[in-house]
Structure 1
Amino acid sequence: MGRPMTDIILHPTKASLADWRAIHHGASARLDASMKPAIEASATAIDRILARGEPIYGINTGFGKLAGVRIADSDLAQLQRNIVLSHAAGVGEPMPAQIVRLMMALKLNSLGQGASGVRSQTIALMEAMLAKRLYPLIPAQGSVGASGDLAPLSHMACAMIGVGEIITDGGVKPAAAALAEAGLKPLELAPKEGLALLNGTQFSTAYALAGLFEAERLYKSALVTGALSTEAAKGSDTPFDPRIHALRGHRGQIETAEALRMLMSNSAIRASHLAGDERVQDPYCLRCQPQVMGAVLDMLRQAAVTLEIEARGVSDNPLIFADTDEALSGGNFHAEPVAFAADMIAIAVCEIGSIAERRIAMLVDPALSGLPAFLTPRPGLNSGFMIPQVTAAALVSENKQRAYPASVDSIPTSANQEDHVSMAAHGARRLLGMAANVDEIIAIELLAAAQGCDFHAPLTSSPILERVRARIRKDAPTLEDDPHFRPLMQASAAIVRAGDVIRAANVVLPGVAT
């Protein structure tokens, strides 16, 4: 799991995209100490609200369709334990530890606003678990993204009360044993605390944020490989002229065109066909990169705005207002904003892979690229990049199927009490698998574009792109005859996943920072 970085101090209303990125990449998190008075005020407000003897949803009533059932004062603690145990009904593979860490930090941030009625000791246990790298083992399937991400967050709460399992640096252990080894005591839930822990959008938001961070890396990597493919095909940089994009006005398009111009600047390959080139226009996969990838960037930025707001917000129910001793029931747990953001990210990721695959297909076709068929010096005897392009096409098609909007689906739950749900959870959860597919597509393009440029020797590309070519050539040589392709593709994919394509370029590329 790697060693943690410096703690991120979360101030609920100020937490930034950079904070969540750092936590996703390994940093621990704890609340700003200034939030303690609000947390304590919220917890004491629960006692005053209960003293009035009124029915308060989830505090002295049943849950969902059972909200009309009044619970005796003597059973209030048992009620909270019961909801945690009964709602821990997830299935499927466990969440990756880094997503659990992000989810816990998001929940911590939400509880820290003092609108959920939890006590300081509950906050302290969450902070200690994060600091000691104790991550509940949470099945990843089972949430419909409304009434909160109930099942996965219940599994988190189970670990906090000593039930279930916890992922530690020493492996998966029973929760009670893992807490004891770390010198921590299981939580005894007070009224409202079980509901507060499991009600919210933090599972969906954590996956959506992780998908956003992956999508940004893919966008930047594909800018680089797209520029390299343009060089391999001896494409024109005229379509990246700033005057073209200023006339349309989209920010992402303008910045993408600028980045492509920078990536190709001072290329000897480009200089070699500035004059006398009979081709009037390049295929869309080259010429329309600013329009397509710019739209991707704009969409990712919109998703980032939504997710940054969501991550700062409170998605519990009911919400506690300590200044007036009120518990107000609402619907902040409904994850429609997250579902929409996840759908936008899915579409963007799909399109990054789609246009990259079209560039691969263009490069292997001598009629379009002017290069040897399938990028091999001896086509026929060798098949070259014939089947890697097929693999890329297969991955694009798989992503198209996954990109169907999750947010347009709904299925009633809880005996029709919860009759419209967002499906944000699996809408966000699919993003990492889609991103992994695009890693492979970009990896194939990186190999193909580098091979295409090799045919132009002794001409070289821009200094920036030559650094990228040097990086791939460290692990994957120029192909003279057919290789065993899988190891080369694995090596290239590792470079893409690690962000080495971006690092090798060593320039500032547009991103999603809000």
Structure 2
Amino acid sequence: MISVPKRFSFGEDWLTAGIALAIASGKTKVELTQPTRKKIASSWEIVQNIVDKGHPVYGINTGFGPLCTTKISKEETTILQTNILQSHSVGVGKAINTDIAKLMLILKVHSLAKGFSGIAETTLDRIIWHIENDAIPVVPSQGSVGASGDLAPLSHLFLPLIGLGKIEHQGKVYDTPSFFKKYNLAPLELGPKEGLALINGTQFIAAHAVKVVEKLHSCLSQADVIGAMMIEGLQGSVKPFFNELHALRPFKGSIHVAKRVKRLLKGSEIMEDHIDCERVQDPYSLRCIPQVHGASRNAWLHLKELLEVELNSVTDNPVIVDEELTISGGNFHGQPLAMALDYACLAASEIGNISDRRIYLALEGNSPGVPKLLMQDTGINSGYMILQYTTAALASENKGLCFPSSADSIPTSLGQEDHVSMGSIGGRKALQVIGNVEKILAIELLTAAQAFEFRKPMKSGIFLEEIHKEVRKKVAFADKDRVFADDIEKGIQMIKDKTILHLINQIGEKEKISLRTKHSDEFEVY
């Protein structure tokens, strides 16, 4: 894994999903260097000159949206910026997680620090203070159409700058005036364009995309391992994972997955035991793991690549290029990420879909030595039958959530904003699907471990053998029915904690064995 930097310079360094997460977790410190501060100050001065000259520039001395032809006096330009934060704070629904709101702050500072937004240094310094002190604004999850920037959520995000809104700090939610009093802070007075610069942008969509990149990567990596354990449990063939096959159709994802699974199966007594069996080929859910998991890997890689462009872009409006040129354009439009998030959502759903098929396969009792429903004494016991009901329900729910949000558009702002991306909805939905996939993978992990048990006393390779032992530390072999919901919760926690991935890293370091491939660096979050 590529290490993250100890320090990150906003507006200068290249931001990735991994670095953004490292900043949010406190592993990477942040700064505004003097050259960056100089660019920021220069852009701010240009805005002051525009106000002094009175030449109409959108959002600086005009109204917003359909009010773009309404001239605002020099004296009212600062009131305009305060009003826009208040009028656009129309979010509803449950608040987003604080880690996503914190990512929004990080991504916004990096974009504004490029020096094309007319923001004041003092405003950026205050936002950085919020990041460094984990004083995170409360942001409702609903209300953005993902086009004129994520207007509603970004407005809520920056209400605390003017002394309004709510802040979560150390597990407690404060109204901003109370928080300011406790920490001896005062509201800022926003200058011309600052309010608009703060709320125009794609940081709500992009912050969700950062979490999608992180969480989907975890699911993909664990799905390979759990799929390999299921192959062992059901005595599948290793041949579909040979490089000779995938070299003939060299998609990066397929090659990467095939090599990982083949190495996980290396040295397995279980594989050797049925090397001359009469079964010609396995069902697709086992045989096509490289192609299916690999396709989802490719979708993940596409999102990661597009996201990095977005993280290092200027996405507000208008853009202050220099003294002579300001451009009112559409860099705030969320379409580039919206479509990729819908693709990633489908990719995640398919990982859950094929996982459910492997679970069903394990229950059929068609693999020698593995009893129907993964339990010897059935009839009085239902075995693992109903666990698959849960994965079927989750997989079906995900299919319903896969309708692409970006396929929809509802005009807003009295028709001024007549095509919108709905990327904000796509980002939230993708995380919902991934949450369901985590649950499906947890159940497959338990199911694969149960099937694996029937191969004893034969042993697998070192990776899968140790992973099976780790599962058994938390969930015992089931020889009769019990409350399986308790087992599932333990499995879900293992998936969320990335228990098996950490174990693989430990084994690899100890035994000097690696699952890395020539595409490993590309398929890393960092």
Q: Does TM-score exceed 0.5, indicating one fold?
A: yes
Alignment coverage as a number of residue pairs: 508
Rounded Cα–Cα distance in structure 1 between residues aligned with 2:65 and 2:479: 66
Q: Deviations over 1:182-238 (max 9, x none)?
A: 333211110000000000000010011101110000000100000000000000000
The 5 A counterparts of 1:102-113 are 102-113=103-114
Cα deviation, 1:322-347, whole Å, max 9, x if unaligned, reads 3x343210000000011012112101
Matches within 5 A, 1:494-505: 494-505=493-504
- Deviation of the 1:17 alpha carbon: 2.9
The residue that corresponds to 1:376 in the other structure is 375
Displacement of 1:49 in angstroms is: 1.8
The answer to whether the 8 A contact 1:301-1:513 is kept is no
CA distance in 2, matches of 1:183, 1:7: 28
Aligned residue for 2:164, secondary structure, equals coil
Matched, 1:180 2:199: no
Judge conservation of contact 1:335–1:424 (CA < 8 Å) in 2. yes
1:350/1:369 CA distance change after superposition, 3 Å: farther
Alignment of 1:167-246 (within 5 A): 167-246=168-247
Equivalents in 2 of 1:10, 1:53: separation in Å?
32
Partner of residue 54, structure 2: 53
- Following the alignment from structure 2 to structure 1, what is the Cα–Cα distance between the partners of residues 466 and 225? 11
Give the deviation of 1:31 after TM superposition.
3.7
Q: Secondary structure at the match of 1:248?
A: coil
For residues 109 and 421 of structure 1, do their structure 2 counterparts lie closer, same or farther at Cα, with a shift above 3 Å needed? same
Equivalent position amino acid for 1:86 in 2: S
> 2:342, 2:430 within 8 Å by CA — same for their partners in 1?
no
Residue 10 of structure 1 and its aligned partner are, at CA, apart by 3.2
Separation in 1 of the partners of 2:65 and 2:368?
Answer: 61
8 Å contact kept, 1:12–1:110: no
Q: CA RMSD in A?
A: 1.6
CA deviation after TM superposition for structure 1 residue 48, in Å: 1.5
CA distance in 1, matches of 2:6, 2:162: 27
Tell me if 1:163 matches 2:158. no
Cα drift, residue 51 of structure 1? 2.3
Alpha-carbon displacement from aligned partner over 1:80-100 (angstroms, at most 9, x marks no partner): 000000000000001101001
Q: Does 1:148 align with 2:149?
A: yes
| Alignment partner, residue 488 of structure 1 | 487
Indicate the larger mover: 41-50 or 31-40: 31-40
**Is contact 2:369-2:454 (8 Å) kept?**
no
Pair 1:404–1:412, CA change in 2 (3 A): same
Does structure 2 retain, via aligned residues, the 8 Å contact 1:145–1:334?
yes
Aligned equivalent of 2:511: none
Q: Helix, strand or coil: the match of 1:70?
A: coil
Deviation at 1:170, TM superposition (A): 5.0
Quick check: 2:52–2:74 contact (8 Å CA) kept in 1?
no
Aligned partner of 1:286 in structure 2 is 286
SS at match of 2:63: coil
* 8 Å CA contact retained: 1:29, 1:105: no
**Shift, 1:6, TM fit:** 6.2
Q: Does 1:306 align with 2:311?
A: no
How far off is 1:366 after superposition?
1.1
Counterpart CA distance in 2 for 1:478 and 1:211 is 33
Equivalent position amino acid for 1:426 in 2: I
Once the two structures are superposed, what CA deviation does each residue of 1:380-416 show, in whole Å capped at 9, x if it has no partner? 1211110111100110011111111111110000111
Q: Which residue of 2 aligns with 1:316?
A: 316
How does 1:332-347 map onto structure 2 within 5 Å? 332-347=331-346
Whichever residue aligns with residue 483 of structure 1, its letter is R
Q: How do residues 453-472 of structure 1 correspond to structure 2 at under 5 angstroms?
A: 453-472=452-471
Q: Are 2:268 and 1:267 equivalent residues in the alignment? A: yes
Question: Is the CA contact 1:317–1:333 (under 8 Å) kept in the aligned structure 2?
Answer: yes
Aligned residue for 1:423?
A: 422
What is the deviation of 1:8?
4.3
Letter in 1 for 2:490: A
Deviation at 1:52, TM superposition (A): 2.2
Please tell me whether the aligned partners of residues 87 and 154 of structure 1 are also in contact (alpha carbons under 8 angstroms): yes
| Shift in Å, 1:368 | 5.5
| Runs (5+) with no aligned partner, structure 1 | none
* 2:102 matches 1:101: yes
Answer yes or no: is the 8 Å Cα contact 2:118–2:197 preserved in 1. Answer: yes
| Structure 2: gaps spanning 5 or more residues | 509-514
Task: Give, in whole Å, the separation in 2 of the partners of 1:105 and 1:180.
Answer: 25
Q: Residue 217 of structure 2 aligns to which amino acid in structure 1?
A: E
- Residue 253 of structure 1: CA displacement? 0.7
| Structure 1 SS opposite 2:223 | helix
Cα separation, 1, equivalents of 2:180 and 2:7: 21
List per-residue Cα deviations over 1:225-280 (Å, max 9, x = no partner). 000000000000000010000011111111110001011110111111111x1110
Q: Which residue matches 1:389?
A: 388
- Mapping for residues 55-70 of structure 1, pairs under 5 Å: 55-70=56-71
Equivalent positions of 1:428-447 (< 5 A) are: 428-447=427-446
Q: Tell me the distance in 1 between the aligned counterparts of 2:27 and 2:329.
A: 33
Whole-Å separation in 2 of the counterparts to 1:6 and 1:181? 31
Pair 1:251-2:252 in alignment: yes
How far apart are 1:26 and its partner, in Å?
Answer: 5.0
Structure 1 counterpart SS, 2:141: strand
CA contact (8 A) 1:212 1:304 kept: yes
Moved more, 232-241 or 175-184: 175-184
Q: 1:111/1:61 Cα in 2 relative to 1: closer, same or farther (>3 Å)?
A: same
Identity of aligned residues (%): 39
Aligned residue in 2 for 1:355: 354
Deviations 1:269-296 (A, max 9, x none): 1111111x11100000000000111111
Does structure 2 conserve the Cα–Cα contact (< 8 Å) formed by 1:29 and 1:127? no
Give the secondary structure class of the aligned counterpart of 1:415: helix
Contact 1:58 1:195 in 2 (8 A): yes
User: Match of 2:138, as an amino acid?
Assistant: L
Contact 2:7-2:31 at 8 Å conserved across structures: no
* Alignment match, 2:512: none
Partner AA of 2:460 in structure 1 = S
For residue 180 of structure 1, report the CA deviation from its aligned partner.
3.4
The aligned residue for residue 476 of structure 1 is 475
Instruction: Return 101-110 or 503-512, whichever deviates more.
Output: 503-512
SS of equivalent to 1:366: coil
CA distance in 2: counterparts of 1:208 and 1:18, whole angstroms: 12
| Counterpart mapping for 1:30-45 below 5 A | 30-33=30-33, 34-45=35-46
Match of 1:54, as an amino acid?
H
- Contact in 1 for aligned 2:214/2:525 (Cα 8 Å): no
Question: Is the Cα–Cα contact under 8 Å of residues 17 and 213 in structure 2 kept in the other structure?
Answer: no
Q: 1:76 to 1:249 in 2, by over 3 A?
A: same
Distance in 1, matches of 2:250 and 2:226, equals: 25
Once the two structures are overlaid, the 10-residue window that deviates more, 450-459 or 6-15, is 6-15
Using a 3 Å threshold, how does the CA distance of structure 1 residues 154 and 28 change in structure 2: closer, same or farther?
farther
Distance in structure 1 (CA, Å) of the matches to 2:11 and 2:74: 35
SS in 1 for 2:414: coil
Which amino acid is the alignment partner of residue 212 of structure 1? V
CA apart distance, 1:349:
0.6
